[in-house]
Amino acid sequence: MDENKKREINRNLPINTNRTPSKRMRPALEALLDEGVSIADLAEKMGMSRSSLSRWFQIDDAKLSGLEEIGKVLGYHVEWKFVKD
């Protein structure tokens, strides 16, 4: 994806993607950027408000089912694993 497209998408995101990556929502954010989908478009496809979905990214929290729905809408599958510290 070219830099102009990334800047355009970044303006539509609720967070600064240049900051330190969040632990929980970073994979979903990276998928959004890779697919060129805005938060507003994703929220519409998920049947929820933009503000509700934006909140997930702002507070870096979503239910596993929410993350799986994001993946499904974007054409990804979600894998979970436990990693020993």
Q: How far is CA 56 from the centre of its chain?
A: 9
For residue 7, the model assigns a pLDDT of: 57
Q: Does residue 68 belong to any structural domain of this protein?
A: yes
Q: Does residue 81 belong to any structural domain of this protein?
A: no
Structural domain of residue 64, as residue ranges?
A: 3-74
Q: Does residue 66 belong to any structural domain of this protein?
A: yes
For residue 45, the model assigns a pLDDT of: 95
For residue 20, the model assigns a pLDDT of: 46
73: part of which helix (H) or strand (E)? Answer: helix 64-74
Q: How many domains does the chain contain in total?
A: 1
Q: Does residue 36 belong to any structural domain of this protein?
A: yes
Q: What is the mean pLDDT of each run of 10 residues along the chain (85 residues)?
A: 59 52 80 90 94 88 90 92 83
Q: Does residue 80 belong to any structural domain of this protein?
A: no
For residue 12, the model assigns a pLDDT of: 55
For residue 83, the model assigns a pLDDT of: 82
